[in-house]
Amino acid sequence: MKIRPSLLLGLVLATFTFTGCQVVPETGRKQLMLISPAEEARSGLAAFSDIKKSEKISTDAAANAQVQRVGKRIAESVGSRMANTQWEFVVFDSAQVNAFALPGGKVGVYTGLLKLVSSDDELAIVMGHEIAHVTSHHGGERTSQNLAVAGIGVLLAVGMNQQEVSPAKRNQILVAYGLGTTVGVLLPFSRTHESEADRIGLEFAAGAGYDPRAAATFWRKMSAKGGTKPPEFLSTHPSDETRIAALEALAPQYMGLYQTRKARYE
C-alpha cells in the first residue's frame, strides 16, 4: 500500500497527540513519549548487566559503603516516583569522574568521582541529578524525538508494549541516557533536560537530608577541574557560572526540606 505523505504526517501527529505526550510532574513540562516506562526499564536492566560484566567493580569498602549509604537515602526520597524499583548501586573502579543512572533504578558511580566529592552531600547532588534524568524519562524523551524525526513514530508507538525491545531501539535509549562509552557515541542532554535534572536532583538530595548548598560547591570544583572529556553531568551546560548561579538561587527553597529530613537520619 502506498501512503500519501500528508496522510502519514496526519497519522504521526495523531499518535503524538493521543498516545505520545506526558508531563514531568515536578516542572509541569510536556514531553513527547513514544517509549513505554516498561520498555525503558527493560533496556536499563539489560545494559546494567552488560556494564557489570565489562567494567571492573570496585571492592573498596569505604567507597562501596558511601555509595550504598547515600543511594539508600536518595531512593527513599525518590519514593513513589519510582515505586516497586529494585534499586542497585554499584561502584566501578575507574578514573573517570562520572556517574550514571539507568531506568529500572540501576546506578553506577566511578571511583574517580568519589575522589573528587568531599562529602556525602556532594555525592547526593550528583546521584540526585542522574536519577532525576531517569524519573523525568529524559532518555525516553530524546529517543522519542529521534524516532519522530525519523518519521517512524507511528510504527513504534503501535509496538511499544511488546515484551522485547529491539536492539536498535535499546541502543538509542542507552545513548540517550549518556552511556556513550558502551555504545560509542555520547548524546548530550539538552539544556532544558540539564536544568530540569539539576532542580529535581536538588529536591531528591534535600529530601534525603543532604545539603542543597553542596551543589554549588561541587560544580565550582568541577568547573575548576576542567578536563578533556566532560562527563555526562558536565556535557551540555551553557556555562559553569550560569549553572552555579541557578543552583545557588534554587538552594534556599530546599533548605527547610533538607533540615527536616536531616533530623530524621540523625
Q: Which residues are annotated as catalytic? A: 130
CA dihedral 86, 143, 230, 192 (to 10 degrees): -100
Q: If binding is defined by CB under 5 A, does position 218 make contact with Zn ion?
A: no
- Least Cβ distance, residue 252 to Zn ion (angstroms): 22
Find how far residue 248's CA is from the centre of its chain.
Answer: 21
Report 228-247 residues binding Zn ion (CB under 5 A).
Answer: 233
Grid cell, residue 169, equals 531501539
Nearer to Zn ion, 92 or 189 (CB): 189
Number of H helices, E strands in the chain: 13, 5
Q: What are the distances in angstroms from CA 223 to CA 187, 214, 239, 240? A: 21, 14, 9, 6
Report 103-132 residues binding Zn ion (CB under 5 A).
Answer: none
Site residue total, Zn ion (CB under 5 A): 3
- Cβ–Cβ under 8 Å, residues 33 and 141: yes
Instruction: State the pairing for strand pair 88-92/106-110.
Output: parallel
- Least Cβ distance, residue 135 to Zn ion (angstroms): 13
Contact region with Zn ion (CB under 5 A), list: 15-23, 24-32, 66-74, 194-202: 194-202
- Least Cβ distance, residue 246 to Zn ion (angstroms): 13
Closest CA to 101 of 221, 190, 231: 231
Nearer to Zn ion, 20 or 178 (CB): 178
CA–CA separation, 176 vs 234, rounded Å? 15
Contact region with Zn ion (CB under 5 A), list: 152-160, 187-195, 204-212, 216-224: 187-195
Report 197-216 residues binding Zn ion (CB under 5 A).
Answer: 197
- Least Cβ distance, residue 53 to Zn ion (angstroms): 25
Binding site residues, Zn ion, CB under 5 A: 189, 197, 233
